[in-house]
Structure 1
Amino acid sequence: MGANTIAAIIVASGRGARAGSHPDGPKQFRRIGDRAVLQRTLEAFAGHGDIASISVVAHPEDRERMAAMLAALACERRIDLVDGGATRQISVHNGLEALAGNAPDIVLIHDGVRPFVSADLISRVIGAVSPSGGALPAIAVPDTLKRGSDGVCVETVDRSGLFAAQTPQGFPFELILDAHRRAQAEQDTPFTDDASIAEWAGIPVALVEGEPDNIKLTTARDLDLADRRLKETDRMIDVRTGNGYDVHQLVPGDHVTLCGVRIDHDQALSGHSDADVGYHALTDALLATCGAGDIGDHFPPSDPQWKGAPSHIFLSKAREIVSQAGGRIMNADISLICEAPKIAPHRTAMRQAIAECLGIDLERVSVKATTNETIGFVGRREGIAAIATASVVYGDVS
Structure 2
Amino acid sequence: MKTAVLIVAAGRGSRAGGGLAKQWRPLSGRRVIDWTLQAFRDAGHDLIAVVRNPKDADADTALAAQPDLILADGGAERSQSVRNGLLALAAHKPDLVLIHDAARPCVSKDVITNVINGLTNTPAAAPGVAVTDALWTGADDQVTGTQDRNGLFAAQTPQGFHFDAILAAHEAHQGLAADDVEVARAAGLPVTITEGCSDNIKITRPEDFARAERILGKNMDIRLGNGYDVHRFGPGDHVMLCGVAVPHDRSLQGHSDADVGMHAVTDAIYGALAEGDIGRHFPPSDPQWKGAASEIFLRHAADLARDRGFTLSNIDCTLVCEYPKVGPHAAAMQAKMAEILRIEPARVSIKATTSERLGFTGRGEGIAALATAALFKG
Q: What TM-score bracket applies, with the shorter chain setting the length?
A: 0.5 to 0.7
How far does the alpha carbon of each residue in 1:40-99 deviate from its partner, in whole angstroms, 9 at most, with x for none? Answer: 0001112222x240000001012432332453x6x7xx3111101111111111111112
Report the residue type matching 1:112 in the other structure. Answer: A
Pair 103,232 (structure 1): closer, same or farther in 2 beyond 3 Å: closer
Corresponding residue number in structure 2 for 1:44: 39
Q: Does 1:192 align with 2:178?
A: yes
- Which of 195, 199, 206 aligns to 1:213? It is 199
Between the aligned partners of 2:201 and 2:124, the Cα distance in structure 1 is 21
Corresponding residue number in structure 2 for 1:21: 18
Report the residue type matching 2:185 in the other structure. Answer: E
Corresponding residue number in structure 2 for 1:35: 30
Count residues in correspondence. 224
How far does the alpha carbon of each residue in 1:324-370 deviate from its partner, in whole angstroms, 9 at most, with x for none? Answer: xxxxxxxxxxxxxxxxxxxxxxxxxxxxxxxxxxxxxxxxxxxxxxx
The 8 Å contact of residues 32 and 230 in structure 1, kept in 2 or not, is answered as no
Pair 180,131 (structure 1): closer, same or farther in 2 beyond 3 Å: farther
Between the aligned partners of 2:222 and 2:105, the Cα distance in structure 1 is 21
Report the residue type matching 1:6 in the other structure. Answer: T
Q: Does 1:57 align with 2:54?
A: no
| Structure 1 residue 231, shift from structure 2 partner | 5.6
Between the aligned partners of 1:206 and 1:141, the Cα distance in structure 2 is 17
User: What SS is found at the alignment partner of 2:55?
Assistant: helix
Identical columns (%): 46
Pair 144,84 (structure 1): closer, same or farther in 2 beyond 3 Å: same
- Which of 8, 11, 14 aligns to 1:11? It is 8
The 8 Å contact of residues 33 and 228 in structure 1, kept in 2 or not, is answered as no
Pair 231,161 (structure 1): closer, same or farther in 2 beyond 3 Å: closer
Aligned Cα root-mean-square deviation (Å): 2.3
Q: Does 1:89 align with 2:79?
A: yes
How far does the alpha carbon of each residue in 1:278-319 deviate from its partner, in whole angstroms, 9 at most, with x for none? Answer: xxxxxxxxxxxxxxxxxxxxxxxxxxxxxxxxxxxxxxxxxx
Corresponding residue number in structure 1 for 2:124: 134
Pair 125,236 (structure 1): closer, same or farther in 2 beyond 3 Å: closer
Corresponding residue number in structure 2 for 1:68: 62
- TM value normalised by structure 2: 0.55
Pair 103,37 (structure 1): closer, same or farther in 2 beyond 3 Å: same
Between the aligned partners of 2:38 and 2:136, the Cα distance in structure 1 is 38
User: What SS is found at the alignment partner of 2:91?
Assistant: helix
The 8 Å contact of residues 106 and 216 in structure 2, kept in 1 or not, is answered as no
Corresponding residue number in structure 2 for 1:115: 105
Corresponding residue number in structure 1 for 2:150: 160
Report the residue type matching 2:59 in the other structure. Answer: R
Pair 221,235 (structure 1): closer, same or farther in 2 beyond 3 Å: farther
Corresponding residue number in structure 2 for 1:100: 90
How far does the alpha carbon of each residue in 1:101-146 deviate from its partner, in whole angstroms, 9 at most, with x for none? Answer: 3321000000001011111111110111146420010000011111
Between the aligned partners of 1:102 and 1:12, the Cα distance in structure 2 is 21
| Structure 1 residue 229, shift from structure 2 partner | 5.0
| Structure 1 residue 35, shift from structure 2 partner | 0.7
Corresponding residue number in structure 1 for 2:211: 225
Between the aligned partners of 1:32 and 1:232, the Cα distance in structure 2 is 14
The 8 Å contact of residues 39 and 69 in structure 1, kept in 2 or not, is answered as no
Between the aligned partners of 1:138 and 1:231, the Cα distance in structure 2 is 23
- Which of 202, 211, 215 aligns to 2:188? It is 202
| Structure 1 residue 232, shift from structure 2 partner | 6.9
User: What SS is found at the alignment partner of 2:6?
Assistant: strand
106-115 or 126-135, which deviates more: 126-135
